[in-house]
Amino acid sequence: MTNYDIRKDFKIIENNKIAYLDSGATTQKPTQVIDAIRHYYESDNANPHRGAYKLSIKATEVYDEAREKVQKFINAKKPENVVFTRNATESLNLIAYSYGLNNIKEGDKIVLSIMEHHSNLVPWQNVCKKTGATLEYMYVNSEGTLDEEEINKKIVPGVKIVGITQVSNVLGTINPVKEIVKKAHEVGAIAVVDASQSAPHIKVDVQDLDADFLAFSGHKMLSPLGIGVLYGKENLLEKMPPFLFGGDMIEYVYEQDTTYAPVPTKFEAGTQNVEGAVGLGAAIDYLNNVKMENVEKIEKELMKYAMDELSKLDFVTIYGPRDLSKHAGVISFNVNKVHPHDVASILDSENVCIRSGNHCAQPLLRYMGLDSTCRASFYIYNTKEDVDRLIDALYKTKKTFEKWM
């Protein structure tokens, strides 16, 4: 299956005649996912876990099936390791509030990479402020990667939590997560992996990584908005108190006290987002049909082509690792002397959609001495022609600004 075959399933691209290069922000959805949601509402919808009638049981079943699909997709031991949330941000907040605030004490250290998205950074700042723990960062080298020396220098005894993104949403850097998790465990820390930019693009195996927690959003991998995943090791999830309280997360409720439902229901208060779970399940089916090896292959070819073509432009500066084995999904660049927002507007006038700004990673950009960058990000429906349209639009940007550069 080629990206040209895949593209036919994404009507929005054809309908808008766009070169959609912002999948790092959110992906488009294939007909199969949209159909699955429609089918759910036309055939299976009711409130799950609550009704004694057939339809409610059906809704419960499809919700549980989706959980099993996620379990297999990330190779978790049991479906109970998978908690459905709204998105990666909520997953990471759940860990910070429920695990962080209850296990971190004054004098403890939390270590993050400087590449973290605000969603795996601000919650930990809050934990540090509330507990008196200190926050430290692993900084990138000039290539935008983490040196082993830096990792070993920062992950030392006293560190209790290590937060690491598997792929940087700004630089596209693939981090050595397995080694970082191992190092974290050696010093007695737990590792929180942000897989938002990796799970859609490369095979993620939570057991191989030995991650304690791992979070990602469905909408960055062909699913509808509003469904996310938190993976957690069983012994950790069991001991953690609930994050949100209310309906369905309970066992017995008395006037003054409550016992809670087992994991993962304990963490899924309120009526569950079955539509989202069904959509995520359909997205996983779609990706399994394409095969993750093939996803990686399509993207690698696109990234190589984009890197080669962008490198030819002497008015463009590229950020992040040039070594494609360390680079996935996204590519950041700037048009010299033109602000990224102006670039994005001119590209938009050519129906080329890219992201411009600080990509919710202000500490990284500040560390690199940048205010903002342009970012193109790819997915399985992109083609070389999309990259060509990007390059042509960049020439147009240069032409518009040339007189004033």
Task: Give the x/- contact pattern for another protein in 254-273, rule: CB under 8 A.
Answer: --------------------
Q: What's the first-to-final CA gap in the chain, in angstroms?
A: 44
User: Does position 340 bind another protein by CB under 8 A?
Assistant: yes
Measured from the CB of residue 341, what is the shortest distance to another protein in angstroms? 4
Measured from the CB of residue 401, what is the shortest distance to another protein in angstroms? 8
User: Does position 403 bind another protein by CB under 8 A?
Assistant: yes
Question: Looking at 68, 285, 348, 388, which residue binds another protein (CB under 8 A)?
Answer: 348
Q: State how far the Cα of 217 lies from the Cα of 196, in Å rounded to an integer.
A: 6
Q: Which is nearer to another protein, 143 or 392 (CB)?
A: 392
Of residues 132 through 191, those in contact with another protein by CB under 8 A are none
Specify whether 128 is catalytic.
no
Question: Looking at 356, 377, 382, 383, which residue binds another protein (CB under 8 A)?
Answer: 356
Q: State how far the Cα of 326 lies from the Cα of 168, in Å rounded to an integer.
A: 11
Q: Locate tokens 């999948």: which residue?
A: 23
Size of the site for another protein (CB under 8 A): 20
Q: State how far the Cα of 397 lies from the Cα of 404, in Å rounded to an integer.
A: 12
- The length of the chain, given as a count of residues: 405
Q: Evaluate the omega torsion of the peptide bond into residue 176 and state whether it is cis, within 30 degrees of 0.
A: no
* Cα dist from 330 to 14, 18, 192, 285, 303, whole Å: 22, 18, 22, 24, 8
The piece of 55-63, 175-183, 234-242, 343-351 that touches another protein (CB under 8 A) is 343-351
Contact 394, 312 (CB under 8 A): no
Of residues 359 through 398, those in contact with another protein by CB under 8 A are 365, 371-372
User: Does position 193 bind another protein by CB under 8 A?
Assistant: no
Q: Which is nearer to another protein, 94 or 365 (CB)?
A: 365
Measured from the CB of residue 393, what is the shortest distance to another protein in angstroms? 10
Residue 191 Cα to chain centre, angstroms? 16
* Cα dist from 178 to 165, 209, 211, 364, whole Å: 11, 5, 8, 22
Contact 136, 189 (CB under 8 A): no
CA atoms within 13 A on the CB side of 228: 22
User: Does position 336 bind another protein by CB under 8 A?
Assistant: no
Q: Which is nearer to another protein, 294 or 317 (CB)?
A: 317
Question: Looking at 207, 308, 341, 395, which residue binds another protein (CB under 8 A)?
Answer: 341
Measured from the CB of residue 17, what is the shortest distance to another protein in angstroms? 13
Residues acting as catalytic residues: 360
Residues that bind another protein (CB under 8 A): 338-342, 344-346, 348-349, 356-358, 365, 371-372, 400-401, 403-404
